[in-house]
């Protein structure tokens, strides 16, 4: 019987893990350690409502104080895990070693930076609440020309919010289309059309050479020789899992903390959220999943794993799901599409930016994508959970009309 559990990462995954432990009857000490001084907060509003100025930061808090207090957590904010030795069950916090009984790692990820822009004033990434407020402050101060580098989830949402605030936005993407790596070029082109329809100057298939200048007078030079003037620059080119502090810990690290299908990384150690790499038995793929829903569910699953024996442990086998709000469009994807999948629009019209599309490979349904089609995406997600074949899925979709 465990007497205490330490959670490193006062994140969505970490907090939901703590809540799950209490809900499952764990009465021991739960220590929740976070390197930010803020109360645990939700990240999706940072590139949406908080950046837009529609919400103040306190609305993004994950659990209000009155609901957090009954959990009886040893909540330590503004401190950092700096080392780990799994062999002797010892965690190092701000250089001070302390023993642990069970450990859940939920340290998330940090933004990749564009080489040569580190520390350059006027160049931002967006991962934390402080990042969000810094960008918002520049927009509030009148910054009107924004260059967003990277048309992934964060970059596309930042561009959308900035346009809504009246800014002139140039969106630069090295791939042939936004979301091309996730959705494929065909559906990525539909997302590109949404941005173009909203006045974004979209530059795809071109990288960035240099960024120079000062806030209000910056220049982004592209590799094709063109340049874009900007008041501020936001870089959204992906993330790196926060595993530096785990070097030499005894854990296997490979673009994340490598776990077995049950989320166990080592005896008495589990991982969850953006930092965790595990093999999903549903797909057979070893991967990290950087989405909100995965952080919630994996945090809960990893917490339960610490309370179960090896014989009782169950694999974590979700159907991945995410959403992105851009302008007046809600983009949702369930499943894991592959670049070579067949893509078929099964409802609505891509020209109208209101549709549902299936992805399939070797007779299997692999994913469902929707733009302003939440009901169809949820039905498609249920088909994925059932392991539906391609023909079966198409038969179901034929009844939607």
Query: What pLDDT digit, counting tens, does each position of 289-308 carry?
Result: 999 999 999 999 999 999 99
The answer to whether residues 260 and 281 belong to one domain is: yes
User: CATH number of the domain that 157 lies in?
Assistant: 3.50.50.60
**Residues 133-176 pLDDT 10s:** 999 999 999 999 999 999 999 999 999 999 999 999 999 999 99
User: Are 245 and 394 within one domain?
Assistant: no
Residues 199 and 264 in one domain: no
Residue 320 near residue 289 (C-beta atoms within 8 A): yes
Residue 374 has pLDDT above 70, yes or no: yes
Among residues 94, 35, 32, 98, the alpha carbon closest in space to that of 242 is found at 35
The answer as to whether 201 is a domain residue is yes
pLDDT digits (tens, 9 = 90+) for 86-111: 999 999 999 999 999 999 999 999 99
Q: Tell me: the pLDDT tens digits for 113-138?
A: 999 998 899 999 999 999 999 999 99
CA distance readout (Å), 132 to 12, 55, 108, 127: 17, 12, 17, 7
Q: Does residue 401 surpass a pLDDT of 70?
A: no
Residue 352 in domain? yes
Residue 321: inside a domain:
no
Say whether both 105 and 248 belong to one domain: yes
DSSP annotation of 44 reads G
Instruction: Indicate whether 119 and 150 sit together in one domain.
Output: yes
Decide if 316 is inside a domain.
no
The tally of domains found in the chain comes to 3
Tell whether the torsion through CA atoms of 240, 245, 248 and 251 is positive or negative.
Answer: negative
Question: What gap in Å lies between CA 194 and CA 239, rounded to an integer?
Answer: 25
Residues 244 and 106 in one domain: yes
Distance CA 357, CA 388 (A): 15
Task: State the residue range of the domain holding 28.
Answer: 4-110+239-306
Task: Check whether residue 244 and residue 219 sit in a common domain.
Answer: no
Judgement on whether residues 230 and 260 belong to the same structural domain of the protein:
no
Query: pLDDT per residue over 221-254, tens digit each?
Result: 999 999 999 999 999 999 999 999 999 999 999 9
Residue 126 counted as domain residue:
yes
For residue 363, what are its two tokens? 């007779």
Classified as helix, coil or strand, 21 is: helix
Asked if residue 291 belongs to a domain, the reply is: yes
Residue range 384-396, pLDDT digits in tens: 999 999 999 999 9
Strand 74-77 relative to strand 29-34, pairing: parallel
Same domain for 189 and 151: yes
Residues 359, 360, 365, 367: is their CA dihedral positive or negative?
negative
Contact 110, 239 (CB under 8 A): yes
Confidence of residue 338 (pLDDT cuts 50, 70, 90): confident
Q: Are residues 131 and 207 in the same domain?
A: yes
Domain holding 332: CATH number?
A: 3.30.390.30
Q: What is the pLDDT of residues 46-67, one digit of tens each?
A: 999 999 999 999 999 999 888 8
Specify if 322 maps to a domain: no
**Looking at the domain assignment, is residue 318 inside a domain?**
no
Same domain, 186 and 292: no
Residue 2 pLDDT: 81
pLDDT of residue 1: 64
């Amino acid at each position: 019987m465990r007497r205490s559990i330490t959670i490193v990462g006062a994140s969505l995954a970490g907090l939901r893990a703590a809540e799950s432990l209490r809900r499952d009857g764990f009465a021991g000490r739960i220590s929740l350690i976070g390197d930010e001084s803020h109360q645990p907060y939700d990240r999706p509003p940072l590139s949406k409502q908080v950046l837009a100025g529609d919400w103040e930061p306190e609305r993004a808090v994950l659990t209000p104080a009155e609901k957090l207090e009954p959990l009886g957590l040893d909540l330590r904010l503004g401190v950092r895990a700096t080392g780990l030795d799994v062999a002797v069950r010892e965690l190092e916090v701000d250089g001070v070693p302390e023993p642990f009984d069970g450990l859940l790692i939920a340290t998330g990820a940090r933004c990749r930076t564009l080489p040569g822009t580190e520390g350059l004033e006027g160049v931002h990434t967006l991962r934390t609440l402080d990042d969000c407020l810094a960008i918002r402050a520049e927009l509030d101060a009148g910054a009107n020309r924004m260059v967003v580098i990277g048309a992934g989830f964060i970059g596309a949402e930042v561009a959308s919010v900035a346009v809504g605030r009246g800014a002139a936005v140039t969106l630069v993407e090295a791939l042939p289309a936004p979301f091309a790596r996730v959705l494929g070029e065909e559906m990525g082109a539909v997302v590109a059309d949404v941005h173009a329809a909203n006045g974004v100057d979209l530059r795809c298939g071109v990288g960035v050479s240099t960024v120079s200048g000062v806030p209000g007078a910056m220049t982004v030079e592209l590799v094709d020789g063109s340049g874009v003037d900007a008041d501020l620059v936001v870089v959204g080119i992906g993330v790196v899992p926060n595993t530096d502090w785990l070097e030499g810990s005894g854990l296997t690290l490979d673009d994340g903390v490598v776990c077995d299908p049950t989320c166990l990384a080592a005896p008495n150690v589990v991982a969850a959220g953006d930092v965790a790499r595990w093999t999903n038995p549903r797909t057979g793929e070893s991967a990290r999943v950087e989405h909100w829903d995965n952080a919630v569910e994996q945090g809960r699953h990893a917490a339960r794993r610490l309370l179960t024996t090896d014989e009782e442990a169950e694999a974590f086998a979700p159907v991945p799901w995410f959403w992105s709000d851009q302008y007046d469009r809600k983009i949702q994807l369930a499943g894991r599409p592959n670049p070579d999948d067949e893509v078929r629009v099964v409802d609505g019209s891509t020209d109208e930016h209101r549709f549902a599309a299936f992805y399939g490979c070797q007779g299997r349904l692999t994913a469902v994508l929707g733009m302003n089609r939440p009901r169809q995406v949820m039905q498609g997600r249920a088909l994925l959970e059932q392991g539906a074949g391609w023909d079966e899925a198409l038969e179901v979709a034929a009844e939607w009309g």
